[in-house]
A and B are shown apart, each in its own frame.
Chain A
């Protein structure tokens, strides 16, 4: 495990922790989700470059496409929450309560 890979995995882990431990704003969670997607993309590209195996580049392209779709869905959810509540405070999201 070279240092670069460990660096990237550390960035991924920090973004994951950031997504799971957000305090009041939902957009923080979404930003960390983007960070996770970015670190994964960088890692895939580095693997393709370091192992001299250009065919693996397709994995990074597809990962980027799906990350973009997911970002769009996340932003749509954020917009709808912001429309009904005015802000994206997490303690507003209590519709699941019984």
Chain B
């Protein structure tokens, strides 16, 4: 009998134990953060046999456990869907969370509220796993909102800083706009398909309607920071680095893409939605790659890199390859979390310096961090046979051979070369050259709590691509043959970006910096998108509401409708009609005319 189901439920339930521990008898003997970290590690280990058994049997399971509520037409139960997507994602999420929790034992060591931090991370993880294993849209929505709320609490971790509070509110607002789409889709499914269960919704895809899919696309755009709803992701870097590594690179932001992947049977037949997804993803990936080129904060560069990869995932969904998008989610999590952890290591060691113009010369002083950073960046750009290659190269090949919008595919290739350009710039400015930080900085990376997670994720960035692709069950038909130049196009684009960035940086290193050009300013100010939108839209809304509520009634009904209109009408008509000019002398002279006429007529 296949036992993977109870083992997986053990995994999920054991994660909730530390949360309940804080309610009953907190902080007994060992430290609570250590307890949470080891819980997550044991959860990861127990999820591995479950996933292995699933890969062996390829038998998906659905668990209907607690019947919560029944309305006239709708049953709501607590149901878990353990299929390919959730079973593959859970061990990866647990592995990364384990590494990040061990990392934050070092990073947040001096924080007095470290217990609360770990509890928040754990609640976030629980919400994310609820989202991933949800079988009905209600449970999915619970997880969706849960990750949004934990994101808010964690971004504003240092809540005395106004920028952090602003960024947290910004994240909530942009996610809320996406939630409108999700609720629209849920309502439509409730009204038309009479159920929120994935099985029933995905089976009835005879004539797929565009409205719920548009709602789902809006939800994905909000949660996964696509173009138009993207500014919250760079602003979310106000949170601590472990938060950025966990939420805003590996797990929360992929929730939107995950939603679209879950609904891929409905999207298969609707080409308009696929086109929209493709264009939105392509625009996102190019725009954020352009913005990443001129940023000076290392965390913002990695945030824009995340946004660009999310756009790439949307492009993959747009060409009807959901399994490839999911593969990219799994592989992207590794190297992005690794990049964030290396950034965190650099930031803490340089005494909270985040500007790459003030780093440099870290090869000899922080060897392991530098090595891992370079490996992570190489994996990101798709160096052959590292992790990123197995998903990214396949995606580029699929785009090159698909029968869709050539413009979107072309700008995806441009974004690929820009990816390697800004990665090269990051490496050159942070790691090479003479050090640009103050000389008496105490740099020490010899802490196992820091090094072990980085080592684990580096090994993950190197081998998981190969491990996953050689062990997953076949999901979609393999790509057909293609000419050599198409096969090498991703590699050539990456190499082009790398060589250009290398040449430009090394040649212009010693030159005097001139005034920034218009293109530089466009890229540095994020395309002026936050500058224009963030003030204009609320101001117009407030102005309109003030006018409607206070000004309109008084000025219209009391003044303009009757009195002023009448007087104005009279004045304008009399001015157009009259001939009087006030020439009194002439008028009195004209009295003489009839007199003389009468005199002459009587003669």
Contact = CB atoms under 8 A, between A and B. Distances in A.
A98 B578 contact: yes
5 contacts: A17-B592, A21-B592, A96-B584, A98-B578, A98-B580
B580 A97 contact: yes
B582 A97 contact: yes
A98 B591 CA distance: 22
Nearest to A17: B592
Interface string B574-596: 11001011101100110110010
A32 B284 CA distance: 93
A69 interface: no
A3 interface: no
Contacts of A17: 592
Nearest to A93: B584
**A-B pairs with the 3 shortest C-beta distances?**
A97-B582, A96-B582, A94-B582
B592 A90 contact: no
Contacts of A93: 582, 584
B580 A96 contact: yes
Interface in B93-126: none
A90 B575 CA distance: 23
Interface in A21-53: 21-23, 29
Given A98-B574, A98-B575, A19 B580 contact: no
A55 interface: no
A96 B582 CA distance: 5
A20 B592 CA distance: 7
Contacts of A65: none
A20 B575 CA distance: 28
A50 B588 CA distance: 35
Interface in A51-98: 90, 93-98
Interface residues of B, number: 13
Contacts of A23: 585
Interface residues of A, number: 15
A90 B585 contact: yes
A86 B595 CA distance: 34
A10 to B, nearest CB: 14
A95 B581 CA distance: 9
Given A98-B574, A98-B575, A29 B582 contact: no
Contacts of B575: 98
Nearest to A22: B585
Contacts of A22: 585, 588
Contacts of B574: 98
Contact of A90 (B578, B584, B591): B584
A97 to B, nearest CB: 4
A16 B582 CA distance: 21
Contacts of A19: 588
A39 B513 CA distance: 103
Interface in B552-593: 574-575, 578, 580-582, 584-585, 588-589, 591-592
Interface in B273-322: none
Contact of A20 (B578, B581, B582, B589): B589
Contacts of B578: 98
B547 to A, nearest CB: 35
Given A90-B585, A95-B582, A96-B580, 14 more contacts: A17-B592, A20-B589, A20-B591, A21-B588, A21-B589, A22-B588, A93-B582, A93-B584, A96-B584, A97-B580, A97-B582, A98-B574, A98-B575, A98-B580
Question: Which of A22, A93, A96 is packed against the most chain B CB atoms within 10 Å?
Answer: A96
Contacts of A29: 588
A19 B591 CA distance: 10
B601 to A, nearest CB: 17
Contacts of A90: 584-585
Nearest to B595: A16
A20 B588 contact: yes
A24 to B, nearest CB: 9
Contacts of B591: 20
A93 B595 CA distance: 26
A97 B575 CA distance: 9
B585 to A, nearest CB: 6
Contacts of A98: 574-575, 578, 580-581
Contacts of B588: 19-22, 29
A95 B588 CA distance: 16
B591 to A, nearest CB: 5
A94 B575 CA distance: 15
Contacts of B585: 21-23, 90
Contacts of A20: 588-589, 591-592
Interface string B475-493: 0000000000000000000
Contact of A97 (B581, B589, B592, B595): B581
A95 B582 CA distance: 7
A96 B591 CA distance: 18
Interface string B391-405: 000000000000000
Nearest to A29: B588
A21 B590 CA distance: 10
A29 B585 CA distance: 10
Contacts of B582: 93-97
A22 to B, nearest CB: 7
B123 to A, nearest CB: 78
Contacts of B584: 90, 93, 96
A6 B592 CA distance: 20
A19 B587 CA distance: 12
B575 to A, nearest CB: 5
Nearest to A24: B585
Contacts of B589: 20-21
Contacts of A96: 580, 582, 584
Residue of A90, A93, A98 with most partner-chain B CB within 10 A: A98
A94 B584 CA distance: 8
